[in-house]
């Protein structure tokens, strides 16, 4: 095809030119510190609050419920650690799942090891969906927080967020959701979904890297995460990343404006991609719920091959993909998400995640499937396991 085919939009997205254009003045023209009182600083302050308003509008939230962070991981850390500290008198029990992003899982491990927290890691079904009855059973008098992601970053499965929020509300427990993959892709109304805290990151929706936010419902008692100045209503000190915030506001506006048309197109291409692979490549399976999944997510496991080899060979054809979360791409261990849905190690190792973007074309999908077929066939031809399997099949 002779050009780069980028199918790793769950890892990051290309910053939209309109977002870059909106950011540029706040690097070299309107560069004032928004905490200062002169006119130049006021321009930065105004732009920052306009961005906050745009983001709040997407969530049906109040502007003073949006707190800017350096990204989704910081927002996740803040939600868990600060809530644990604030509600320590009530209890020390947190409920999450085995398929969360490591920003949640590693923070829970920290709270367990160093702060005396008790963590329940819920199982999920074969499609990666939380079982609501098991969530109910896990709740105790000391449960202070439920943190369950909106949609999984690896297999794309969308959780029953509204029902989880209702359970939390009935038991007077805080509900936090990591919506890093869902914000801008799915409709989110924090009031209708009973969400108390929500994490997001700009670079997943064609915004800049290094900027995110934590939504904190008014009335939620949560402590400051970074101490120093009075920024972000004294809850997150440090001079604000004004260009990043402006960029996030514009990216959120553009994502919401185009969401229905864009995601319908992505979903059509996604289903076409899934159908072709499952029909044309033997001994593979789709991971995640077939219908309740992100519009742009495809995760396939191929038997008898290593995912790393598949990725490297696809890269040779100009195709950018991944085997799972970009945050664990250096690990040789199989995906914790795929193990949690019941895949054996050898199949989990042979997985490929393809995540579409707004510029993905049908021509690119066809080219990618053709190259996947070619590479999988080549890798299996070198696999003793596949050779043994085929011998057994031929004897039947």
Active site residues: 327
In the chain, where do the E strands start and end? Answer: 5-6, 66-69, 93-97, 118-122, 143-147, 174-178, 197-201, 212-216, 284-286, 297-302, 319-320, 351-355
State residue 366 phi and psi, 5-degree precision.
-60, -45
Quote the DSSP letter at residue 225: S
Candidates 48, 49, 67, 59; CA nearest to 220 is: 67
Residue 211 and residue 232 in contact, taking contact as beta carbons nearer than 8 Å: no
Q: Across-strand partners of 279? A: none
Largest CA distance in the chain: 83
Matching residue, tokens 């970074």: 226
Q: Which residues pair with 199 in a beta bridge?
A: 178, 214
Q: Which long-range contacts (CB under 8 A, 24 or more apart) does 78-81 make?
A: 78/214, 78/222, 78/225, 78/236, 79/147, 79/176, 79/197, 79/199, 79/214, 79/222, 80/104, 80/107, 80/108, 80/111, 80/145, 80/147, 80/176, 81/107, 81/110, 81/111, 81/225
3-class secondary-structure state, position 16: coil
Residues 6+ apart with CB under 8 A from 268: none
CB 80 within 8 A of CB 107: yes
Q: Collect all residues with Cβ–Cβ distance below 8 Å to 129 and sequence separation of at least 6.
A: 157, 159, 160, 289, 292
Token pair recorded at residue 26: 């706040």
Distance (Å, whole) CA 333 – CA 306: 12
């Amino acid at each position: 095809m002779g050009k780069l085919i980028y199918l790793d939009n769950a890892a990051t997205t290309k910053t939209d030119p309109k977002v870059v254009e909106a950011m540029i003045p706040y690097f070299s023209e309107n560069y004032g510190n928004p905490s200062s009182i002169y006119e130049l600083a006021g321009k930065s302050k105004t732009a920052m609050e306009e961005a906050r308003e745009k983001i709040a509008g997407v969530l049906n939230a109040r502007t003073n419920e949006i707190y800017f962070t350096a990204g989704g991981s910081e927002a996740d850390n803040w939600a868990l650690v600060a809530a644990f500290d604030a509600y320590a008198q009530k209890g020390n029990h947190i409920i999450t799942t085995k398929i969360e992003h490591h920003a949640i899982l590693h923070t829970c491990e920290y709270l367990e090891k160093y702060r005396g927290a008790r963590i329940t890691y819920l199982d999920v079904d074969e499609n990666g969906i939380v079982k609501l009855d098991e969530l109910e059973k896990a709740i105790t008098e000391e449960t202070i927080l439920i943190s369950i992601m909106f949609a999984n970053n690896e297999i794309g499965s969308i959780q029953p967020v509204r029902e989880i929020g209702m359970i939390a509300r009935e038991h007077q427990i805080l509900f936090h959701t990591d919506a890093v993959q869902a914000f801008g892709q799915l409709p989110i109304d924090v009031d209708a979904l009973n969400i108390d805290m929500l994490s997001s990151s700009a670079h997943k929706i064609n915004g800049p890297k290094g900027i995110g936010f934590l939504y904190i419902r008014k009335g939620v008692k949560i402590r400051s995460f970074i101490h120093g100045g009075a920024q972000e209503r004294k809850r997150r000190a440090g001079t604000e990343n004004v260009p990043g915030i402006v960029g996030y506001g514009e990216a959120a506006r553009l994502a919401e404006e185009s969401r229905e048309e864009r995601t319908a197109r992505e979903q059509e291409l996604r289903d076409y991609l899934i159908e072709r692979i499952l029909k044309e490549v033997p001994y593979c399976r789709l991971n995640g719920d077939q219908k309740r999944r992100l519009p742009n997510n495809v995760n396939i496991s191929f038997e008898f091959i290593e995912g790393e080899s598949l990725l490297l060979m696809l890269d040779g054809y100009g195709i950018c993909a991944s085997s799972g979360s970009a945050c664990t791409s250096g690990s040789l261990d199989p995906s914790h998400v795929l193990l949690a849905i019941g895949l054996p190690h050898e199949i989990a190792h042979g997985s490929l995640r393809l995540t579409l973007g707004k510029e993905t074309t049908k021509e690119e999908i066809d080219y990618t499937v053709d190259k996947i077929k070619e590479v999988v066939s080549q890798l299996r031809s070198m696999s003793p396991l596949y050779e043994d399997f085929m011998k057994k099949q031929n004897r039947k």
